[in-house]
Amino acid sequence: MLAYLVRRIIIAFPVLLGILALTFILVQMLPGDPATVLLTPEEMMGDPGLIERRRAELGLDRPLPVQYVAWLGELAKGNLGTSFHRNVPVTEMLAPRVMPTLILSGTGMVIALLIGVPVGVAAALRQNTKFDYASGVGSMVAVSVPTFFQGLIAIYVFSIWLGWLPSGGMRTLGIPASGIDLLKHLILPASVLSAVLMGPYVRYTRQSLLDVLRLDHVTTAKAKGVPRWGVVVKHALRNSLIPLTTVLAVQIPALLAGTVIIEYVFTWPGMGRLVIEGINSRDYPVILAVVMITAVLVLFFNFIADVTAAILDPRIRL
């Protein structure tokens, strides 16, 4: 197990550096000169040497590789840069946005798992029946309808037409914050988000269970006279859920992309909405910070998923 861990870390490290390097390249592509961003036109007119000194002060006159290392050093200290738009550290803008996004994406993922996995299992056990085909077509529809369109339909039906749920935001203004109020606001966006994730969960659970049901130890169990549910629950299901850990990790970029769109449609005050606001106000450091954080998170969750799979299935360690 230790050797496997070390091998995984050796693979993950260059990927991390690569993610950071690609982010740095994107930073370099950004329009606007950081040296002049914080200066007024009067200051620049009055002193022609000021920009040059400013560049030296910010270290912008050094070669790019040196700047890259210096930038890495700042990152290590937790400095994600300064917002162009509001002139405050990016971390300050990000902090209040993290929790709402975690609530939304966490709830979406849980709903998707609670519905997707049982449906996938049922589809595999009733292979080639109407239920199986319906769940296949259903999950295909769920991934094919654009997220924002699903959101608009949900608002149209449940907020405007039926008037059951609020159409956006995270709480009702003017009444004290409460769990029930939050839940009311959470249902629609979280359900739409779960629809995006559910399709792949159904598919992979079904395929994986079908693969396991064909293995020899399942046949042996059946031959010994183990009842059908016992075969499925004890001998097949546990093994078939191992690949799902990888699917969960692989789906994280899709989860985040879905979150961006859904937060936008439902005016949910999370990181995704911050990204769109950042793009509209050309506030690139904010977007880059989110991009980098999510990329690093994806790498981290992939690592966790690999390790979990290795713990559950010793063959992977070899």
Partner 1 sequence: MIRQDGPGNRLDVDAMVEAAISAGEAAIEIQSVDDVVALPPRSPFRIGIRRFMKHRLALISLIYLALLGLMAVFAPIVAPANPNAVDLTSLRSAPTSDHLLGTDSAGRDVLSRIIFGARVSLTVGTAAAVSAAGLGTLLGLIAGFTRGWVDTIIMRLVDIFLSFPSLIVILLLVAILGPSVTTIVIVIAFFEWPTACRIVRQMTLALREHDFVLAARASGSSNFRIMRRHILSGVVSPLTVVTTLLSAQAILLEAALSFLGLGVRPPQASWGGMLNEAQSITVLERFPWLWLPPGIAIASTVLAINFIGDGLRDAFDPRQTR
User: Under the rule (CB under 8 A), what is the footprint of partner 1?
Assistant: 11, 14-15, 18-19, 22, 26, 29-31, 127-128, 136-137, 140-141, 143-149, 152-153, 155-156, 160, 167, 207, 210, 253, 256-257, 260-261, 264-265, 275-276, 279, 282, 284, 287-288, 290-291, 294-296, 298-299, 302
Nearer to partner 1, 27 or 50 (CB): 27
Cα(193)–Cα(187) distance, integer angstroms: 10
> Smaller CB distance to partner 1: residue 54 or 249?
249
Q: Shortest Cβ distance from residue 6 to partner 1 (Å)?
A: 17
How far apart are CB 217 and partner 1 at their closest, in Å? 19
Closest CB to partner 1 among residues 8, 62: 8
Q: What single-letter amino acid sits at 65?
A: P
Nearer to partner 1, 122 or 296 (CB): 296
Does residue 268 contact residue 167 with C-beta atoms inside 8 Å? Answer: no
Q: How far is the CB of 43 from partner 1 (least distance, A)?
A: 27
3-state SS, residue 82: strand
Tell me how far, at minimum, the Cβ of 49 lies from partner 1, in Å: 30
Residues whose CB falls within 8 Å of the CB of residue 129, separated by 6 or more in sequence, listed in order: none
Report how far residue 40's alpha carbon sits from residue 301's, in angstroms, rounded to the nearest whole number: 44
Residues 6+ apart with CB under 8 A from 37: 84
Q: How far is the C-alpha of 41 from the C-alpha of 248, rounded, in Å?
A: 51
In the chain, the amino acid numbered 246 is T
Q: Which is nearer to partner 1, 38 or 153 (CB)?
A: 153
First-to-last alpha carbon distance for the chain, in angstroms, is 9
3-state DSSP of 292-313:
HHHHHHHHHHHHHHHHHHHHHC
Q: Which is nearer to partner 1, 39 or 296 (CB)?
A: 296
Do residues 93 and 269 make contact, with C-beta atoms less than 8 angstroms apart? no
**Cβ atoms of residues 81 and 288 within 8 Å:** yes
**Shortest Cβ 56–partner 1 spacing (Å):** 26
Q: How far is the CB of 48 from partner 1 (least distance, A)?
A: 29
What is the closest distance, in whole angstroms, from the C-beta atom of residue 47 to partner 1 in the complex?
30
Nearer to partner 1, 54 or 285 (CB): 285
DSSP 25: H
Those residues with Cβ within 8 angstroms of residue 165's Cβ, 6 or more apart along the chain or in another chain: 158, 159, 184, 185, 187, 188
SS3 267: coil
* Residue 121, helix vs strand vs coil: helix
Residue closer to partner 1 (CB basis): 146 or 230: 146
Minimum gap (Å) between residue 283 Cβ and partner 1: 10
